[in-house]
Amino acid sequence: MSDTLSLTRIDADLLGALMDRISEFGSTGDGGIDRPALTDAHKAARDWFSGQMRDRGYRVLVDEIGNLFGRIDLAGPDAPLVMIGSHLDSQPKGGRFDGTYGVVAALAAIESFRRDAAEQGITPRCNYVIADWMNEEGARFQPSLLGSSVFAGAVDLDWALERRDRDGKSVAEELVRIGYKGSDPAPRPDLYLEIHIEGDAKMERAGTRIAPFLRHWGALKVRIEVTGEQNHTGPTPMEDRKDAVLGAAYIIAFVRELADTAADTLFTSVARVDVSPNSPNIVPGKAVLFVELRAPEPVMLEWSETRLREALPGLAAKAATSAQIMSIDRRDAGKFDPRLVALTEKIADDFGYARMRLDTIGGHDAVAVNAVVPSIVVAVPSVGGVIHRNDEYTSPEDLAAGGDVLVEMIRRIDAAGGNLDRA
């Protein structure tokens, strides 16, 4: 192991203070947060964080899809631009570390690097920008990764602005309402770094503290509409009922069977069902299912989509209903930049932090950004593998260890003038 005294460390006090304060916005009072995209709580968190960046000399920018950036130029106008970030929106009744840690750690890491560079008389060779991506979670507006996907050119801006929540409110309307319908051009970085909680228990079980993600799984987000016939739950004979929820139940069970058949190479879920008219004494006339299919290889996603399409008519017919696919959002599988993986591992070794390699099954903004610039996600452990829940937790020591790795990545990339082959 290298002499750790020569390594740049995160200002753990700053990181902890930022995490504690931002966790107050949307707090549920039981350790979690409820801060879906473009809600009042999301606005409050962004307003506060924007102030923190401005106070430290960052230029705050907001693009047309509502991505929030804080840019600080430490080198010349033509110097490489390093982007670091994640997201401040959360799931309903979610955890306070998911996404938020990555945004807060970005600020703490850059500030720690600036401090050490000034103390050592080092002139930075790169400029820096913090990214808080809009609607990473996809909880309120679908699809997820919406802001970063527009940034990467994978999704059309106008289409994204037209997305609506379950109350019919559009992204465009809500951006205007909370004051985040920007007009600034999005900064164009040379590379992107993201640090995140693992969201699984593999690291905890292995006793590791740092894990670069090598690959990101592909995903299909399928919206299926089941149509039956609305009627009274009392007098309508059982044999005459066309129950959309019963049809949905057959489809839900089949989606699970797909995953069971494919073992660990396909993960599936139906985590949301919108029922209409949703009255306890009306046979449902309509049900909309939000289906997810996730796999590391395109062939598995193709197989699962084909099986689902083939099975839908028969499954719905078992309940005297019909079903059709209304939309599919597709996210390709891919690999993160191997140079950033190697750099992460070298730095973890230099700090003496036990490490391992992982894939990410869930989506991260780095998945979208990875299509246009070299990118990586670095994970720290999640206690019990809990994520998207109020008791989601990562220890302050592990948060700081991840921050150490992040700030040292910044230092080495900066010393190499942004050249990843030399970092």
Second-level CATH architecture of 218-331: 2-Layer Sandwich (3.30)
pLDDT tens per residue, range 343-386: 999 999 999 999 999 999 999 999 999 999 999 999 999 999 99
**Is 16 in contact with 112 (CB distance < 8 Å)?**
no
Which residues fall in the annotated binding site? 87, 98, 137, 196, 388
pLDDT at 5: 47
pLDDT tens per residue, range 135-173: 999 999 999 999 999 999 999 999 999 999 999 999 999
- Summarize the confidence of residues 184-202 as an average pLDDT: 98
10 Å Cβ neighbour count for 87?
A: 30
Which residues fall in the annotated binding site for Zn(2+)? 87, 98, 137, 196, 388
pLDDT at 410: 98
If you write DSSP's letter for every residue of 247-292 in order, what string do you get? HHHHHHHHHHHHHHHHGGG-EEEEEEEEEES--TTEE-SEEEEEEE
- Summarize the confidence of residues 224-236 as an average pLDDT: 98
Would you say residue 235 has pLDDT above 50? yes
**Geometric angle at alpha carbon 396, from 394 and 398, rounded to 5°:** 65
Q: What is the CATH number of domain 12-216+333-416?
A: 3.40.630.10
- In the chain, pLDDT over 90 holds for what percent of residues? 98
Q: Where are the domains of the chain?
A: 12-216+333-416, 218-331
CA distance linking residue 279 with residue 135, whole number of Å: 31
Output the average pLDDT for the chain: 97
pLDDT tens per residue, range 7-63: 999 999 999 999 999 999 999 999 999 999 999 999 999 999 999 999 999 999 999
